[in-house]
Amino acid sequence: MKDRKYKFTWDLIGDLELGRPNLGPYARLEVYRLMQFSFRDILEKNYGTEKADALFYESGKLAGEEMFKKFFSELTNFNEYVKVLQTALREMGVGILKVEEADLEVGRFVLTVSEDLDCSGLPELDYEICAYDEGFIAGLMESFTGIKFKVKEVDCWCTGDRTCRFLAEAVKD
Ligand SMILES: [Zn+2]
């Protein structure tokens, strides 16, 4: 592929201190969700539901990989990784991460994210909605373990649970 216009780099996030001397690094959650759900609407309209979800998953995965490279790549101990991740996700307002089950040998994890940035407080729907988070978690898991992961949200605020629960399983080939 020829040089792309939008290949992600952290430079695109910009110099927030320089650029936002009065407003700082924060924006209202509504505008974040407005962007997510307008993207979702347009992607679905153009490419269908399944593809829209897949693109969200893939984007989340890229975000997880980039986040790992920038902030967590020095870590080698899983428990320490979880602890640092919990603090970072809380400080950035992404959500409150908990690990319910962890089997490093088998490659199977159950994680919950409460007060999730993407979905907490949404009306009840009959489907889980956090495809971006699924990919995000997959990116974080794969980067740390070097193994491919498939992540599925099994409970969501939108399905009546008050937390999002994700099942992460290593993909064996
Ligand atoms: Zn959710």
For residue 80, being part of any structural domain is answered with yes
For residue 92, being part of any structural domain is answered with yes
- Long-range CB pairs of 144-153 (<8 Å, 24+ gap) are 144/68, 144/72, 144/75, 144/78, 144/81, 145/104, 145/107, 145/170, 147/107, 147/171, 148/173, 149/107, 153/128, 153/129
> How many domains is the chain partitioned into structurally?
1
Distance from Cα 117 to the centre of ligand 1, integer Å: 9
pLDDT at 1: 62
pLDDT at 163: 93
In CATH, what number is assigned to the domain containing residue 141?
Answer: 3.30.1380.20
Distance from Cα 120 to the centre of ligand 1, integer Å: 7
Q: Which domain, by its residues, includes 162?
A: 60-170
Distance from Cα 5 to the centre of ligand 1, integer Å: 31
Higher pLDDT, 124 or 113: 113
For residue 17, being part of any structural domain is answered with no
Neighbours of ion ligand 1 (CB under 5 A): 119, 130, 156, 164
For residue 29, being part of any structural domain is answered with no
Distance from Cα 128 to the centre of ligand 1, integer Å: 6
pTM: 0.94
pLDDT tens-place string over residues 49-103: 999 999 999 999 999 999 999 999 999 999 999 999 999 999 999 999 999 999 9
Separation CA 131–CA 64 (nearest Å): 13
